[in-house]
Chains A and B, each alone.
Chain A
Amino acid sequence: MPIPCDQNPITLASYLDGELPPDQIPAMHEHIATCPQCASEIAELTSLKSSLRAARGHHTPTLEFRKKLQQQIAPPRRPRPNMLRFIPVALALAAMLLLAFTWTQHSRRQDAFSEVADLHVNALASTNPLDVISTDRHTVKPWFQGRIPFSFNVPELTGSEFTLLGGRVVYLHQQPGAQLIVAMRQHKISVLIFQASSGQALPFPVSTEASGHNAFTVETWQSNGLRFLVIGDVDATEIERLAQSLKQANS
C-alpha cells in the first residue's frame, strides 16, 4: 500500500493555474517528483486543461452581428449636407472627382491614423506598458541603442508640464521604432519615432500641423531621416508644445 498523501487537491490545482506563491513552488516540485498520487493528479488536470482549450473560440459571432454591434457602439458620423445639387452638371462632376480624390486621401490617412492610434491605445491598455521605466532622458536614450536601428534625442522635460514615464520598442509595418510615453496631468501622450526612408514609405499623413481626430490629436513631421508622431487626448496646443521641444532636440 502506498503511503496516503495529504496534499490538498486545491493546492495542486493552484500550482497548475500558476497561482501558488513563488516560495512554495520548489517544495511542490519536490513533492510531485516523489508522490505518484500527486503526479497522476497533475497529469489528469493537465489533460483536462488541454481538452478545455477546445472551448476557446468554439462559438464564433456572425459578421452581421459584428457589424450591428459596431454600429451600436460607434454610430456613423452624419453625412455632410449635399451642396452639389445647385451646381451646374459639369462643375458638379469636377467637384465629385475632387471629392472622390479627397475621400481616398482621407481614408488612407484614416488607416494610417488608426494604426498609430492602436499603438498608443495598446500602450495605455497594457498592464505593463513600458520596457524601460525612467523619467530621465539620459537613461532612456542609451536603452534604445542596439534595440532600434537609429538614434534620436529626448528633450529636457524637467520643469515643464510634461513628465517622461519611459519607453518601449514598437513595430509598425515590421519596422522597429521607439515609443516614449509622456504624462501631462491625467493624460498620457505617445511619442512615436520611426525611420523615415527605409524602402517603402510609411503611409503617414504629410501635414505638419496638428490635426484633431475624434478622441486624439496627432502631430507628425519628418526631420533628419526620422518620422515623429505625437499622439494623445490633449489639446492641439499642448501636443504642439511637446512637438516643439522634440523638434528642437532633434534639429
Chain B
Amino acid sequence: MEPEFFEQLAMPLFDQLYNLAHWLTGDRADAEDLVQETYAKSLKGFRSFQQGTNLRAWMYRILRNTFHTSRTGLAAQNTSSIEEEEAQGTSVTAHTITPELLLLQQEGQQTVLDALAALPVAYREIILLSEVEEFSYREIAQILDVPIGTVMSRLSRARTALRRPQKANMLERSIDADTL
C-alpha cells in the first residue's frame, strides 16, 4: 500500500501515540525518538499489513515493543519482579477505605497523575492502555502479548497501587532514587 494511505490512517494516531510515549519515557526528547521510530517501523511494515487488522492496536504494539527494547525502556522495566509477583498470585485486598485513600481523593487528579508517573512501567503501561487509550482487554492482550487473565490481574494490581500510594512505593523498589 502507498505511503499516502499510511499517512491518512496513521497520522490521526499521532497525538495519542505521543502522549503514551511521553508517559512511558517521562521525557520529551525520548518520547519524540520513540514515536519517530514507531512510525518508521510501521511504515516499513505497512506493506505487509493485513487488511482488516486493527491498525491502532498494531501501532501501539510497535511503540510498546520499541520502548521496551530501548535504553530508557530497559532501564525502567523490572520484568523479573512483575513475573515473580504474578506467579505468587498475591491477592489484592479490596474493600479498603484507608485514610490515605480519602486524602488521595481530596488532593484530586494531580496526585493520581503523580502516582501514575511513579508506577513501575509494566503497571503504568497497562493503566494507560486501558483507562487512557480505552483498549479492550483482548486488544491489550495483543499489544502486550500476554493472556487476557494476565491483563485482568495486572490491571487490578495497577489500580490498587494507584489507590494506595504507599503500595506504589513498595512496587517501586527497583526504580532509581532519582524518581522518588
Interface residues of A, Cβ cutoff 8 Å to B = 5, 9-10, 12-14, 17, 19, 37-38, 40-41, 44-45, 47-49, 51-61, 65-66, 68-70, 72-75, 117-118, 121, 125, 127, 186, 214-215, 233
Check B5–A215 contact: CB distance below 8 A: yes
* B23 in contact (CB, < 8 A): yes
Q: How far is the CA of A121 from the CA of B5 in the complex (A)?
A: 8
Q: Determine the distance from Cα of A40 to Cα of B95 in the docked complex, in whole angstroms.
A: 7
Query: Is B4's CB under 8 angstroms from A214's CB?
Result: yes
The number of inter-chain residue pairs (CB within 8 angstroms) is 125
Contact A54 B39 (CB under 8 A): no
Cα distance A53–B156 in the bound complex, in angstroms: 17
Contact A48 B163 (CB under 8 A): yes
The minimal Cβ–Cβ distance linking A216 to chain B, given in whole angstroms, is 8
State how many angstroms separate the Cβ of B149 from the closest Cβ of chain A.
Answer: 9
Contacting residues of chain B (97-128) with chain A, CB-CB under 8 angstroms: 97, 101, 105, 108-109, 112-113, 116, 127-128
Are A215 and B101 in contact, CB atoms less than 8 angstroms apart?
A: no
Task: Report the count of interface residues on B (CB-CB < 8 A).
Answer: 54
Q: Does chain A have a CB within 8 A of B155?
A: yes
Cross-interface CB contact of B94 among A9, A57, A61, A117, cutoff 8 Å = A9
25 contacts between A and B (CB under 8 A): A9-B92, A10-B153, A13-B155, A14-B137, A14-B152, A17-B137, A37-B95, A40-B95, A41-B94, A41-B95, A47-B105, A48-B163, A49-B131, A51-B113, A52-B116, A54-B112, A58-B19, A58-B113, A59-B19, A61-B31, A73-B40, A74-B7, A121-B8, A125-B55, A233-B1
> Closest Cβ of chain B: how far from A53's Cβ, in Å?
8
A58 touches B23 (CB 8 A): yes
Min C-beta distance of A159 to chain B, whole Å: 25
Q: Please determine whether A121 and B19 come into contact, CB atoms closer than 8 angstroms.
A: no
Contact A9 B156 (CB under 8 A): yes
Q: Which of B3, B39, B130, B163 is in CB contact (< 8 Å) with A69?
A: B39
Q: CA of A75 to CA of B39 in the docked complex: distance in angstroms?
A: 13
B62 within 8 A of A: no
User: Are B40 and A61 in contact (CB-based, < 8 A)?
Assistant: no
Contact B152 A72 (CB under 8 A): no
B-side contacts of A44, CB under 8 Å? 97, 101, 163
Cα distance, A48 to B168, chains bound together (Å): 15
Q: Contacts A44-B163, A56-B132 known; A5 to B40 CB distance under 8 Å? A: no
Partner of A5 from the list B6, B8, B95 (CB cut-off 8 Å) is: B95
Contact residues in A for B32 (Cβ distance below 8 Å)? 61, 65
Closest-CB distance, B5 to chain A (whole angstroms): 4
The residue among B9, B23, B132 with the most chain A CB atoms within 10 A of its own CB is B132
Residue of B nearest to A2 (CB): B95
Distance between Cα atoms of A242 and B5 in the complex (Å): 22
